[in-house]
């Protein structure tokens, strides 16, 4: 049998690799659930008060460092034990790592506000640790003198190299994960301490008649946690608002620079605007509505004095993503704003904290730049943007569309009066009517809820006298100009889907 030290090294290396992988997943994908930190947080919650006070008395503000170092020692010691056990009684070592992963999952899921995804880093930690230990243990058994290895010394060297590499990769991953997560944590802390200023212009109240009380119908204002999210950011940019700046450059008479503190001192305005993604399929859910707090971009552009032949503003996010917005959408009277607030909260990090653009009437890819840091006043024939470089249209006005929310497609309903309801939108134009068709029957007029404004979606409902059988329900909206939503089917590429949303239901 091999000694204690090589199995222990294999265990430590495997655990390091697992923790490193978990830290990377946490830093890049989940932004949360760092296996080390969630277990640390769990311990802080579990440790009896007397011990906590004792540690604080002993180490002062170094208490967190003491915790992390002790945790690291325990985890690595458990890794050594796992390696030793794995060689003695496989798969006991791998089971021990699995138990460690389960503790991480438990810690992640029991934190307040945790989602299922927060368990992912711990699951990855356990999976990578278990696989690594399986491989290293097999190599180590191959070097054992009880096996006939043609050249035992070479396999032993290979084992040592593999163990060293695994451990080094794991340690490096932990470091990279920590460095990457720092910006996000700074931003999260700043956001938690931030109180939105009072609006100078309050949004017109949401009319009581803007929403129907129908289960399953999209709420008229989308809670932040349910707001759709689309971006290319593998890592959410962690911006410290203390260093945030917006620069207005390009074809302007005066370059403008604005800090976060300066932005907050301006008279901020509230407005309710529905955002839509160009990738939203007919009937899709890449659309949400919020009340935003921000400052009109037109006032800032007025300070910069764009040259008369500029026709586009290229906005850039901190991570380099760009959107090209027709300049008139940012200079006319619509509520095109630099937003700092979303439904009474500071912008969530994933929705652009500290500052994003919101422009009524245009798809997000040409207007809704999150983590915005620069407005470059320019021309469409001079520069292109992230998605227009990839085959999407230069101009992206939101297309008139409508969606059935209830009943859910494929649902079985009881015969009698069935509530059919959904939303319809044509931002910055407005919706004037919605019609519903059952099978190939006539278009029946639906009842519209009150509009908040032309920039927001509108709920509709229709009381359907449902008869038994399988039926197709189709919806169609008409905009404020009288244009009827087209039934012509178009793909989302290059400038948004068209066609009519229909669902099938069985009436029993």
H or E segment to which residue 259 belongs: strand 256-259
| Contact status: 386 vs Mo ion (CB under 5 A) | no
Nearest to 294 by CA among 228, 369, 221, 239: 369
| Contact status: 232 vs ligand MTE (CB under 6 A) | yes
Are 66 and 136 in contact by the 8 Å Cβ rule? The answer is no
Q: HSE of 190 in the Cβ direction (CA atoms, 13 Å)?
A: 18
Which tokens is 308 given?
A: 């008369």
Which tokens is 201 given?
A: 């212009």
Distance in Å, CB of 279 to ligand MTE, minimum: 7
| Contact status: 292 vs ligand MTE (CB under 6 A) | no
Q: Which residues contact 311 (CB under 8 A, 6 or more apart)?
A: 326, 327, 379, 380
Distance in Å, CB of 345 to ligand MTE, minimum: 13
Which tokens is 177 given?
A: 């994960």
Look at the block and give the residue holding tokens 């301490």. Answer: 193
Which residue, judged by CB position, is nearest to Mo ion in the bound state?
277
Among 155, 273, 291, 317, binds ligand MTE (CB under 6 A): 317
Give all strands (DSSP E) within 321-450, no chain letters: 322-326, 337-342, 345-346, 356-358, 372-378, 401-406, 412-413, 416-425, 431-438, 443-445, 447-448
By beta-carbon proximity to ligand MTE, the closer residue of 163 and 324 is 324
Return d(Cα 471, Cα 484) in angstroms, integer: 23
Report the SS3 class of residue 403: strand
By beta-carbon proximity to ligand MTE, the closer residue of 228 and 380 is 228
Among 96, 108, 136, 277, binds Mo ion (CB under 5 A): 277
Distance in Å, CB of 351 to ligand MTE, minimum: 4
Stretch that binds Mo ion, among 118-126, 222-230, 313-321, 334-342 (CB under 5 A): 222-230
By beta-carbon proximity to ligand MTE, the closer residue of 10 and 275 is 275
Return d(Cα 195, Cα 203) in angstroms, integer: 18
| Contact status: 365 vs Mo ion (CB under 5 A) | yes
Which tokens is 167 given?
A: 């451990």
Torsion of CA 244, 225, 423, 232, to 10 degrees: 50
| Contact status: 271 vs ligand MTE (CB under 6 A) | no
| Contact status: 464 vs ligand MTE (CB under 6 A) | no
By beta-carbon proximity to ligand MTE, the closer residue of 154 and 234 is 234
| Contact status: 425 vs ligand MTE (CB under 6 A) | no
Strand-strand pairing, 356-358 and 337-342: antiparallel
By beta-carbon proximity to ligand MTE, the closer residue of 334 and 351 is 351
Return d(Cα 68, Cα 294) in angstroms, integer: 40
| Contact status: 353 vs ligand MTE (CB under 6 A) | no
Which residue, judged by CB position, is nearest to ligand MTE in the bound state?
364
Among 156, 298, 351, 399, binds ligand MTE (CB under 6 A): 351
By beta-carbon proximity to ligand MTE, the closer residue of 155 and 222 is 222
| Contact status: 364 vs ligand MTE (CB under 6 A) | yes
Among 111, 185, 229, 299, binds ligand MTE (CB under 6 A): 229
Longest dimension (CA), the chain: 86
| Residues of this chain that bind Mo ion (CB under 5 A) | 230, 277, 364-365
| Residues of this chain that bind ligand MTE (CB under 6 A) | 227-233, 275, 277, 317, 321, 351, 364-365, 368-371
């Amino acid at each position: 049998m091999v000694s204690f030290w090589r199995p222990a090294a294999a265990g430590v290396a495997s655990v390091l690799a697992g923790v490193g992988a978990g830290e990377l997943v946490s830093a890049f994908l989940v932004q949360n659930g760092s296996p080390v930190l969630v277990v640390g947080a769990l311990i802080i919650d579990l440790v009896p008060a007397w011990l906590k006070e004792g540690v604080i008395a002993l180490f002062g503000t170094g208490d967190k460092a003491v915790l992390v170092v002790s945790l690291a020692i325990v985890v690595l010691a458990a890794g050594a034990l796992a390696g030793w056990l794995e060689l003695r009684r496989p798969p006991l070592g791998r089971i021990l790592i699995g138990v460690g992963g389960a503790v991480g999952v438990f810690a992640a899921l029991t934190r307040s506000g945790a989602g299922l995804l927060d368990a992912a880093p711990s699951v990855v930690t356990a999976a990578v640790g278990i696989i690594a230990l399986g491989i290293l243990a097999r190599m180590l058994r191959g070097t054992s003198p009880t096996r006939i290895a043609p050249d035992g010394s070479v396999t032993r060297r290979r084992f040592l190299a593999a163990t060293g590499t695994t451990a080094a990769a794991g340690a490096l991953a932990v470091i990279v994960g920590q460095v990457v997560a720092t910006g996000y944590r700074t931003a999260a802390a700043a956001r938690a301490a931030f109180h939105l200023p009072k609006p100078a212009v309050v949004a017109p109240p949401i009319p009581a008649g803007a929403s129907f009380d129908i289960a399953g119908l999209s709420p008229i204002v989308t809670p932040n946690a349910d707001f759709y999210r689309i971006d290319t950011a593998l890592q959410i940019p962690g911006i410290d608002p203390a260093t945030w700046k917006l620069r207005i450059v390009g074809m302007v008479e005066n370059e403008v620079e604005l800090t976060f503190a300066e932005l907050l001192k301006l008279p901020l305005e509230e407005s309710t605007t529905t955002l839509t993604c160009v990738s939203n399929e007919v009937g899709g859910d890449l659309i949400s509505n919020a009340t935003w707090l921000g400052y009109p971009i037109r006032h800032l552009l007025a300070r910069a004095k764009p040259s008369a032949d500029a026709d586009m503003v290229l906005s850039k996010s901190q991570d380099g993503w760009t959107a090209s917005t027709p300049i008139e959408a940012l200079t006319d009277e619509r509520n095109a704003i630099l937003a700092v607030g979303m439904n009474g909260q500071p912008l969530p990090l994933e929705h652009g904290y500290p500052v994003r653009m919101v422009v009524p009437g245009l798809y997000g890819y040409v207007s809704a730049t999150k983590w915005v840091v620069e407005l470059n006043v320019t021309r469409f024939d001079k520069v292109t943007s992230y998605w227009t470089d990839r085959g999407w249209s230069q101009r992206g006005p939101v297309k008139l569309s409508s969606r059935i929310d209830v009943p859910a497609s494929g649902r079985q309903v009881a015969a009698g009066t069935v509530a059919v309801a959904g939303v319809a939108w044509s931002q910055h134009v407005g919706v004037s009517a919605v019609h519903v068709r059952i099978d190939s029957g006539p278009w029946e007029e639906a009842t519209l809820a009150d509009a908040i404004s032309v920039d927001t979606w509108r709920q509709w409902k229709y009381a359907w006298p449902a008869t038994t059988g399988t039926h197709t329900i189709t919806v169609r909206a008409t905009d404020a100009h009288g244009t009827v939503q087209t039934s012509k089917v178009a793909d989302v590429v290059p400038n948004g889907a068209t066609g009519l949303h229909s669902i099938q239901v069985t009436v029993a």
